[in-house]
Chain A
Amino acid sequence: MNRASSVAILVLLGAFGIGLSYLAQLNSAPRIAAEQRLIDSRNLLDLLPPASYDNQPLEQPLTLQDTALGNSTLMAGYRATKAGQPYAVLLRSQTLGYAGAIDLLIAIDANARLIGVKTLKQAETPGLGARIADWPNAWLQSFTGKSRFDPDDKGWALKKDLGQFDQLAGATITSRAVINATHDALRYFDEHRQQLLGSAGHE
């Protein structure tokens, strides 16, 4: 136990520590990344019924054109397919709510009907507008099954604006923003249907 042997042991220990950590990181990084992707996709994709698609929509984002819509902007688009046939298109849309931006994920099936709407990011008033972030969400479920023409353009508004949809209690501006963004997405889907559904889409 002299100075030289102590220093030698320390250096060995340091080298061993660095080597072991490096090896552990190398071995575990791909598994951690795959697990993270799985968690993310489960979070985003629980809009769609579980057995309805068999690809990885988040891995192949679609390139979108003319993404600046009337009341919102499209940030990303994904296509879910089953056995090669397109099942649904997921559009990530950003719109201005009461207190900030709202990020919505809007799922539209191949017949241009809404499957569901999910809030990804919001900064609305807690207890009022922020209730769009609850999941499952009773108010957002009122959009399921609607399409661009059902209700018609005038019907795509709050009941107090002579439309068809109830608002969230105490959150008029938030409700309007979500309705307008959803209507924009449906209109966009209609205009770019072939491109969104891919070559195997049917009219």
Chain B
Amino acid sequence: MSKTSLLPCSLMLAPLIGVTGSLASALGLWLMFVVVISAFGLGMNILRPRLLPATHLWASVLLSATLTSCAELGAQVWSLQWHHQIGIYAALLALQCVVLEHNGFFQSTWRDRLRLYGLFGALMVSLGLLREFIGYGTLGHHLSWLVAATHAQWQGWGLTTDGGLRLATLAPGGFILLGLLIAAWQAWHRPTPSH
């Protein structure tokens, strides 16, 4: 990641810790992220040639606010319980859009953008899986909320009866787990010392 992408990446840290308490919310927020950012990118690509560079910021703020409000309302209509769990992190997407635009994300190639989506998705899903497994002892609990079934029969796989380590479902546990994952990644990729 280049230096200029420091701000967008640090913004992504907030949903990464806040929403990944369970797999359903992590997956849902990633889907919302992809939809909103793609729509925003399309909109800005249409508007950018027609606007003075000084007004790009205003336009991006207006567009991102509109898109995020509509996306949140849509999410509430689709599945109210899931939206309760996501809480404020859906609204953070608006800020994310503006910052990405400011960094010129939407002017990079298709491949770069897909890489970002994929990386974010992989991180969210893996962190969500791990935290739900360690914290609650279930996998896919409340996944039925994502498909708008408020009272589904299937409650996900329950792996341990008494729940797991409660720390993993809270934010500090999320940070610890993320730190451990980063340490493991770096240890894996450490260049072998040459003698």
Binding site for B on A (CB under 8 A): 1-3, 5-7, 9-10, 13-14, 16-18, 20-21, 24-25, 28, 31-32, 35-36, 38-39, 42
Contacts and interface: CB of A to CB of B under 8 A. Distances in A.
Given A31-B77, A36-B80, A42-B151, A1 B66 contact: no
B76 A32 contact: yes
Contacts of B52: 1-3, 6
B145 to A, nearest CB: 11
A28 B62 contact: no
B80 A6 contact: no
Contacts of B74: 24, 28
B165 interface: no
A24 B71 CA distance: 10
Interface of B: 47, 49-52, 54-55, 58-59, 62-63, 65-66, 69-70, 73-74, 76-77, 80-81, 150-151
B80 A17 contact: no
Contacts of B70: 20-21, 24
Given A28-B76, A36-B80, 4 more contacts: A6-B52, A24-B73, A35-B77, A42-B150
A10 B49 CA distance: 13
For chain A, what secondary structure do more than half of its interface residues adopt (helix, strand, loop), or is it mixed?
Answer: helix
Given A21-B69, A31-B77, A6 B150 contact: no
Contacts of A35: 77, 80, 150
B150 to A, nearest CB: 7
A74 to B, nearest CB: 29
A14 B63 CA distance: 8
Given A1-B52, A9-B50, A39-B80, A16 B59 contact: no
A32 B62 CA distance: 25
CB-CB nearest 6 A-B residue pairs:
A17-B66, A6-B52, A21-B69, A35-B80, A28-B77, A6-B55
Contacts of A1: 49-52
Contacts of B77: 28, 31-32, 35
A25 B73 contact: yes
A50 B81 CA distance: 21
29 contacts: A1-B51, A1-B52, A2-B52, A5-B50, A6-B50, A6-B51, A6-B52, A9-B47, A9-B50, A9-B51, A10-B58, A13-B47, A13-B59, A13-B63, A14-B62, A17-B66, A18-B66, A20-B70, A21-B69, A21-B73, A24-B69, A25-B73, A32-B73, A32-B80, A35-B80, A38-B150, A39-B80, A39-B81, A42-B151
A10 B59 contact: yes
A39 B76 CA distance: 13
B150 A39 contact: yes
A10 B177 CA distance: 44
Contact of A9 (B59, B76, B151): B59
A5 B73 CA distance: 31
Contacts of A10: 51, 55, 58-59, 62
A6 B81 CA distance: 41
Given A25-B73, A28-B76, A32-B77, A17 B49 contact: no
Given A1-B51, A7-B55, A39-B150, A16 B80 contact: no
A7 B52 CA distance: 9
B57 to A, nearest CB: 10
